[in-house]
Amino acid sequence: MTFTIKERYIPWHCKISSRWDIEPLTTGIFFNTISGEDFWKHQPSRYPKHYYGFSTKIRSNVFLGQRLRYNIPKRKRLFHQAVLVYYEISSCDLYIVSKATNKDFPWRETLSLAIGVKWEL
């Protein structure tokens, strides 16, 4: 299983109409971890000291993106206030360090793209 905690910052939004908003900048940070014994927080003793510089169990990530929001009219709401479509471009600590220290490390392996739909309660 993978567990993630995410903090998003949206500095402003632009109203397109009474029902539509665009959030032209979303940014934030998230941390994720993977359960199981195949991943470790501290380097196992079977490796030479400082052989690995990063934990395989915990990743810190940053992202930038945009969102388009449809505000559901109050009379039509069941449980949700809005539906959003979004995209985010992100990278993790390991990939950022790899790109910064190795100019040949490819961008396609440095950045990730997420596209999704979110229902807001």
- Specify the residue for token string 């959003």: 84
Contact 84, 70 (CB under 8 A): yes
> Residues near 15 by Cβ (< 8 Å), separated by ≥ 6?
21
Contact 65, 86 (CB under 8 A): yes
pTM passes above 0.85: no
pLDDT tens-place string over residues 20-75: 999 999 999 999 998 887 877 877 788 888 777 778 889 999 999 999 999 999 89
Give the integer Cα–Cα distance in Å for 60 and 99: 15
